[in-house]
Amino acid sequence: MSTYATPVLTTERLVLRPLTQHDAPALFTVFADPAVVRYWSAEPWTDISFAETAIARALESYRDETDIRFAVELADSGELVGTVNLHHFFNQNRRCELGYAIASAHWGHGYATEAIGAALEHGFSAVDLNRIEADIDPRNAASAVVLEKLGFRKEGFMPQRWLVHGEYADTVFYGLLRSYWDERKRKI
């Protein structure tokens, strides 16, 4: 039986852990940044209460074990630099969706790839998923690079799927099967 509890995971440079109420200021900094939400289906946060609400929802999902929501922090300093989520679980089909964001001050250091890699390994090995999906804006080049580095394959294109920041935005749909993940691990 699958469990959607959020554990603590460690990588070479990062700790992935459940969010706490103390994370509100750092979380607000990440999502108040227009660059971070440029291709996100939401406006930049304008008040710390947005972070408090998001954390309250995360705490609820920890209690009910409905979503896996990680804060990503630097192992050295403890600074929160982003989030990675496994959500929208379809238990019967052993699949879920992936979401992630890294604070723009920390882009380009491989943190997304490292953090998402740990979350995916947890999803396939501990949660016994068979498939993880990601929906990204085709203009979000860095996000596509991260997904493809991790073995996701492009599966489809859906025009004008979202209305965000006053304009319609397309979706490129990616999928990662457990078999791709296992094959990638064998090659590393």
Rounded to the nearest whole angstrom, what is the least distance from the CB of residue 134 to ligand COA in the complex? 7
- Select 18 or 82, whichever has its Cβ closest to ligand COA: 82
- Select 119 or 128, whichever has its Cβ closest to ligand COA: 119
- Select 115 or 129, whichever has its Cβ closest to ligand COA: 115
- Going by the DSSP 8-state scheme, the letter that residue 122 receives in this structure is I
Angle between helices 111-121 and 141-149 (to 10 degrees): 50
Gap between the Cα atoms of 70 and 61, Å rounded = 11
Rounded to the nearest whole angstrom, what is the least distance from the CB of residue 125 to ligand COA in the complex? 21
Gap between the Cα atoms of 124 and 94, Å rounded = 9
Which residue is associated with the tokens 């238990």?
A: 91
CA atoms within 13 A on the CB side of 101: 21
Rounded to the nearest whole angstrom, what is the least distance from the CB of residue 164 to ligand COA in the complex? 12
Structure-block tokens of residue 166: 């006053």
Rounded to the nearest whole angstrom, what is the least distance from the CB of residue 106 to ligand COA in the complex? 6
Gap between the Cα atoms of 30 and 80, Å rounded = 9
CA distances from 69 to 17, 101, 133, 177 (A): 8, 12, 16, 20
Rounded to the nearest whole angstrom, what is the least distance from the CB of residue 1 to ligand COA in the complex? 28
Binding site for ligand COA (CB under 6 A): 36, 39-40, 99-102, 107-113, 136, 140-143, 145-146
- Select 5 or 141, whichever has its Cβ closest to ligand COA: 141
Strand duo 14-18 + 9-10: pairing: antiparallel
- Select 129 or 146, whichever has its Cβ closest to ligand COA: 146
